[in-house]
Amino acid sequence: MRRTKLVTTVLLLALAWTLQLVPAPAGAVVGGRAATPADNPAMAGLVRSGQAAVDSLFCGGSVISPTAVVTAAHCLEGGLKASQIDVVAGGVRLTDPALQRARVSRVIVHPGYDDVRTVHDVAVLLLATPLTVRPVALATPAEASLGAPGAILRLTGWGEQRYNSPESLPDTLRYADIPVVANSACKRLFDVYDAALQLCGRAANNRPDSCQGDSGGPLIGGTAPAVRLVGIVSYSADQCGSPGFAGVYVRVSAERDWIAAAAGLDGPAALLPAQPAAPAVRKTVRTRIGTISCDEDSCSVVVRVSGSGRRDVSSVVVRVRRPEQRGFSATSRYVQARKVAPGVYRARTLLPYGIVNLTAVAFDAAGTQLGVAAREQIEVFDA
């Protein structure tokens, strides 16, 4: 049976320091197949400096130049420094002694990254030494059709092949072909979905699918010689492979100019101006995460909305974020809450074992963010 209990941040930090937390390999492709070097030569992995790749890979990425890798911004949460990260590339097996490895010299996170809505979820890693693998080109705005509904994109990744199952981690890279679905379908699943900056992928019966920890990994489109990086794994809903859900990916064509500038693809590396700030939260709407109760199958999270603007609230979304921790890699997903009484919403979800952070976001009918509540350091464990 699953239960939850709150633990203090101080205790967790002390425990992390004592145990020297090492993340498990990032999630792989549910229902995928073993990859060959030809399936994605530019595939990269983010690993802990000084540790074996097979034991410490925590996110994916793509080599976009000999000295630059693009990944998801949320992979760098938790205060990770460049000196703590290496990049591996040039092979499909994490235990391959010929796998290339380079130290990260600089981490550049998109200045518009919003960890509540998970938009602009992109970061560039600059490398201290060059890799000799073939980089993948970024999809340009003129190539946005590569990510149009109906397009088939190739997903690659290492790690869990079943949700919340570290024992399913493979040594060999896996791949799957994922169809892009209509923006309207994804907007129904996620109020935070932004069609201008994101695309949505879902296979029949949701298999194959990206899974927890696949974050930062690539969606590749086009045909040789015009192969392009079209998407970057960002977030998903509930269990990976669950019927009726989908994975959300950064739309690279929309972020291409920033990525290229940060990586120095168009000249010396320089940062573009930050994106406009997110709409201010209305002070008349207060959002609070209340009772969390779990049974053998799932957990119920109650969200309460109050204040004079309560009636403006059209929907509430709960984000489940598991930070990087011992035995698990960083993951993020969203769950739509159901209104059960005036000002009261309930989200039913399967919380992953370990420490999780919850964020509840209230929206009006136009999709404007009205209120945000966070509850962090919740421990979920077996009874």
- The pLDDT value recorded for residue 129 is 95
Whether 80 maps to a domain, the answer reads no
Tell me the pLDDT tens digit for each residue of 162-185. 555 454 455 678 888 889 999 998
Could you give the CA distance from residue 85 to residue 11 in angstroms, rounded to a whole number?
25
Residues in contact with 32: Cβ distance below 8 Å, sequence separation at least 6, in sequence order: 155, 157, 161, 174, 175, 176, 208
- The pLDDT value recorded for residue 189 is 81
Whether 42 maps to a domain, the answer reads no
- The pLDDT value recorded for residue 368 is 75
Whether 203 maps to a domain, the answer reads no
- The pLDDT value recorded for residue 39 is 67
SS3 per residue for the chain: CEEEEECCHHHHHHHHHHHCCCCCCCCCEECCEECCHHHCCCEEEEEECCCCHHHHCCEEEEEEECCEEEECHHHHCCCCCHHHEEEEECCCECCCCCCEEEEEEEEEECCCCECCCCECCCEEEEECCCCCCCCCEECCHHHHHHHCCCCEEEEEECCCCCCCCHHHCCCECEEEEEEECCHHHHHHHCCCCCCCCEEEECCHHHCCEECCCCCCCEEEECCCCCCEEEEEEEEECCCCCCCCCCEEEEEHHHHHHHHHHHHCCCCCCCCCCCCCCCCCCCCCCEEEEEEEEECCCCEEEEEEEECCCHHHCCEEEEEEEECCECCECCEEEEEECEEEECCEEEEEECCCCEEEEEEEEEECCCCCEEEEEEEEEEEEEEC
Whether 323 maps to a domain, the answer reads yes
Q: Which residues of the chain have pLDDT under 50?
A: 1-31, 165, 167-168, 206-208, 269-278, 282, 326-328, 383
Query: Catalytic amino acids?
Result: 74, 121, 215
Tell me the pLDDT tens digit for each residue of 201-252. 875 554 445 566 678 999 999 887 789 999 999 987 655 655 667 889 999 9
Partners of 360 in the β-ladder: 318, 373
H-run or E-run covering 259: helix 252-263
- The pLDDT value recorded for residue 32 is 56
Domain hosting 312: range is 2-7+278-382
- The pLDDT value recorded for residue 208 is 46
Are residues 55 and 106 in contact, defined by beta-carbon separation less than 8 angstroms?
A: no
SS3 assignment, position 327: coil
- The pLDDT value recorded for residue 43 is 93
Q: What's 372's domain CATH number?
A: 2.60.40.10
Whether 330 maps to a domain, the answer reads yes
Whether 91 maps to a domain, the answer reads no
Give yes or no for a cis peptide into 208 (omega within 30° of 0): yes
Are residues 226 and 187 in contact, defined by beta-carbon separation less than 8 angstroms?
A: no
Whether 361 maps to a domain, the answer reads yes
- The pLDDT value recorded for residue 90 is 92
Whether 312 maps to a domain, the answer reads yes
- The pLDDT value recorded for residue 157 is 85
- Its pTM stands at 0.72
Number of domains in the chain: 1
- The pLDDT value recorded for residue 62 is 96
User: CA-based Rg of the chain, rounded to a whole angstrom?
Assistant: 20
- The pLDDT value recorded for residue 176 is 83
- The pLDDT value recorded for residue 1 is 32
